[in-house]
Amino acid sequence: MPKGFTTEFARSLNNICNLVVKETSNKEILQRGFIYISPGGYHTRINKINKNYQIEVFDAENINGHKPSIGVLFKSISENVKEKAIALIMTGMGSDGSREIGEIKKAGGLTIAQDEKSSLVFGMPKIAIEENNVDYIVSVSHMVKLLKAILIDG
Protein backbone atom coordinates (compact mmCIF):
# COMPACT_ATOMS: atom_id res chain seq x y z
CA MET A 1 0.00 0.00 0.00
CA PRO A 2 1.37 3.42 -0.87
CA LYS A 3 2.34 6.19 1.53
CA GLY A 4 -0.62 8.34 2.50
CA PHE A 5 -3.21 5.65 1.80
CA THR A 6 -2.80 3.54 4.93
CA THR A 7 -3.74 6.20 7.48
CA GLU A 8 -7.14 6.78 5.90
CA PHE A 9 -7.55 3.06 5.19
CA ALA A 10 -7.04 2.27 8.90
CA ARG A 11 -9.42 5.06 9.90
CA SER A 12 -12.11 3.77 7.54
CA LEU A 13 -11.77 0.19 8.79
CA ASN A 14 -11.87 1.41 12.39
CA ASN A 15 -15.29 2.94 11.71
CA ILE A 16 -16.78 -0.41 10.65
CA CYS A 17 -14.94 -2.97 12.83
CA ASN A 18 -15.65 -4.19 16.34
CA LEU A 19 -11.91 -4.14 17.08
CA VAL A 20 -9.66 -1.07 17.10
CA VAL A 21 -7.95 -0.62 13.72
CA LYS A 22 -4.97 1.70 13.52
CA GLU A 23 -1.90 2.46 11.49
CA THR A 24 1.04 1.23 13.50
CA SER A 25 4.01 3.26 14.68
CA ASN A 26 7.59 2.28 15.45
CA LYS A 27 8.28 0.64 18.84
CA GLU A 28 4.58 0.21 19.56
CA ILE A 29 3.72 -2.78 21.78
CA LEU A 30 1.09 -5.10 20.30
CA GLN A 31 -2.14 -5.14 22.27
CA ARG A 32 -4.95 -7.68 22.31
CA GLY A 33 -8.05 -6.54 20.45
CA PHE A 34 -6.24 -4.31 17.95
CA ILE A 35 -5.77 -4.65 14.21
CA TYR A 36 -2.59 -3.02 12.98
CA ILE A 37 -2.04 -1.65 9.47
CA SER A 38 1.57 -1.24 8.33
CA PRO A 39 2.29 2.31 7.17
CA GLY A 40 2.67 2.67 3.42
CA GLY A 41 6.21 2.99 2.12
CA TYR A 42 7.80 1.24 5.13
CA HIS A 43 8.50 -2.35 6.13
CA THR A 44 7.20 -3.73 9.40
CA ARG A 45 8.55 -6.49 11.57
CA ILE A 46 7.59 -7.94 14.95
CA ASN A 47 10.27 -8.34 17.61
CA LYS A 48 9.92 -10.09 20.95
CA ILE A 49 11.00 -7.82 23.82
CA ASN A 50 10.79 -9.69 27.14
CA LYS A 51 7.18 -10.95 27.19
CA ASN A 52 5.90 -8.33 24.75
CA TYR A 53 5.78 -8.12 20.98
CA GLN A 54 7.03 -4.82 19.63
CA ILE A 55 6.45 -3.41 16.17
CA GLU A 56 9.45 -2.15 14.25
CA VAL A 57 8.74 0.16 11.32
CA PHE A 58 11.74 0.78 9.08
CA ASP A 59 12.77 2.03 5.68
CA ALA A 60 14.72 -0.23 3.33
CA GLU A 61 14.77 -1.30 -0.30
CA ASN A 62 11.70 -2.91 -1.83
CA ILE A 63 11.57 -6.63 -1.09
CA ASN A 64 9.73 -8.96 -3.47
CA GLY A 65 8.98 -5.72 -5.34
CA HIS A 66 7.05 -4.24 -2.43
CA LYS A 67 7.33 -1.82 0.46
CA PRO A 68 5.81 -2.73 2.79
CA SER A 69 6.51 -6.39 2.08
CA ILE A 70 4.28 -8.90 3.83
CA GLY A 71 7.15 -11.37 3.43
CA VAL A 72 9.27 -9.30 5.83
CA LEU A 73 6.46 -9.21 8.38
CA PHE A 74 5.67 -12.93 8.05
CA LYS A 75 9.34 -13.90 8.43
CA SER A 76 9.62 -11.94 11.68
CA ILE A 77 6.38 -13.48 12.93
CA SER A 78 7.66 -16.99 12.22
CA GLU A 79 10.86 -16.22 14.16
CA ASN A 80 9.35 -14.34 17.11
CA VAL A 81 5.66 -15.13 17.54
CA LYS A 82 5.87 -18.75 16.36
CA GLU A 83 2.98 -21.00 17.47
CA LYS A 84 0.97 -18.06 18.84
CA ALA A 85 0.59 -16.57 15.35
CA ILE A 86 -2.45 -16.54 13.12
CA ALA A 87 -1.56 -15.32 9.63
CA LEU A 88 -3.87 -14.55 6.73
CA ILE A 89 -2.86 -14.13 3.10
CA MET A 90 -5.50 -12.44 1.01
CA THR A 91 -6.10 -11.19 -2.49
CA GLY A 92 -3.02 -9.74 -4.11
CA MET A 93 -0.82 -9.78 -7.16
CA GLY A 94 2.49 -11.60 -7.22
CA SER A 95 3.98 -13.84 -4.58
CA ASP A 96 4.86 -11.51 -1.69
CA GLY A 97 4.39 -13.42 1.57
CA SER A 98 3.25 -16.62 -0.17
CA ARG A 99 6.34 -18.55 0.85
CA GLU A 100 6.99 -16.81 4.18
CA ILE A 101 3.52 -17.71 5.45
CA GLY A 102 4.75 -21.30 5.22
CA GLU A 103 7.49 -20.45 7.73
CA ILE A 104 4.74 -19.43 10.17
CA LYS A 105 3.00 -22.76 9.58
CA LYS A 106 6.27 -24.66 10.16
CA ALA A 107 6.78 -22.72 13.41
CA GLY A 108 3.39 -23.97 14.64
CA GLY A 109 1.29 -20.94 13.77
CA LEU A 110 -2.09 -21.12 12.07
CA THR A 111 -2.27 -20.00 8.43
CA ILE A 112 -5.30 -19.03 6.37
CA ALA A 113 -5.64 -18.14 2.68
CA GLN A 114 -8.46 -16.41 0.88
CA ASP A 115 -10.13 -18.67 -1.67
CA GLU A 116 -10.05 -18.03 -5.41
CA LYS A 117 -13.76 -17.25 -5.77
CA SER A 118 -13.70 -14.32 -3.33
CA SER A 119 -10.26 -13.00 -4.40
CA LEU A 120 -10.04 -10.02 -6.69
CA VAL A 121 -6.52 -11.14 -7.66
CA PHE A 122 -5.63 -14.72 -6.71
CA GLY A 123 -1.81 -14.45 -7.03
CA MET A 124 -0.54 -14.42 -3.44
CA PRO A 125 -3.04 -16.89 -1.96
CA LYS A 126 -2.72 -19.22 -4.96
CA ILE A 127 1.03 -19.64 -4.52
CA ALA A 128 0.67 -20.14 -0.76
CA ILE A 129 -1.97 -22.83 -1.38
CA GLU A 130 0.01 -24.55 -4.15
CA GLU A 131 3.06 -24.76 -1.88
CA ASN A 132 0.94 -26.24 0.96
CA ASN A 133 1.67 -23.25 3.19
CA VAL A 134 -1.84 -22.80 4.59
CA ASP A 135 -4.06 -24.69 7.01
CA TYR A 136 -7.39 -23.25 5.83
CA ILE A 137 -8.72 -21.89 2.53
CA VAL A 138 -11.85 -19.80 3.03
CA SER A 139 -13.87 -16.99 1.50
CA VAL A 140 -13.67 -13.50 2.97
CA SER A 141 -17.17 -13.92 4.38
CA HIS A 142 -16.11 -17.08 6.23
CA MET A 143 -12.82 -15.65 7.57
CA VAL A 144 -14.58 -13.79 10.36
CA LYS A 145 -16.49 -16.94 11.38
CA LEU A 146 -13.31 -19.03 11.32
CA LEU A 147 -11.34 -16.49 13.34
CA LYS A 148 -14.17 -16.20 15.86
CA ALA A 149 -14.30 -19.99 16.20
CA ILE A 150 -10.54 -20.15 16.76
CA LEU A 151 -10.15 -17.16 19.06
CA ILE A 152 -13.37 -17.16 21.05
CA ASP A 153 -14.89 -20.61 20.87
CA GLY A 154 -11.52 -22.37 21.11
Write down all domains in the chain, each with its CATH number in brackets.
Answer: 1-60 (no CATH), 70-154 (3.40.50.180)
Rounded alpha-carbon distances, angstroms, from residue 71 to 43, 149, 151: 10, 26, 24
At position 121, the amino acid (one-letter code) is V
Distance between CA atoms of residues 98 and 124, nearest Å:
5
pLDDT tier, 154 (very low <50, low <70, confident <90, very high otherwise): low
Q: Is it the case that residue 1 has pLDDT exceeding 80?
A: no
Residue 105's pLDDT is 98
Mean per-residue pLDDT, 64-88: 95
Query: Angle at CA 5, nearest 5°, toward 76 and 57?
Result: 30
Q: Which of 59-68, 107-116, 122-131 has the lowest mean pLDDT?
A: 59-68
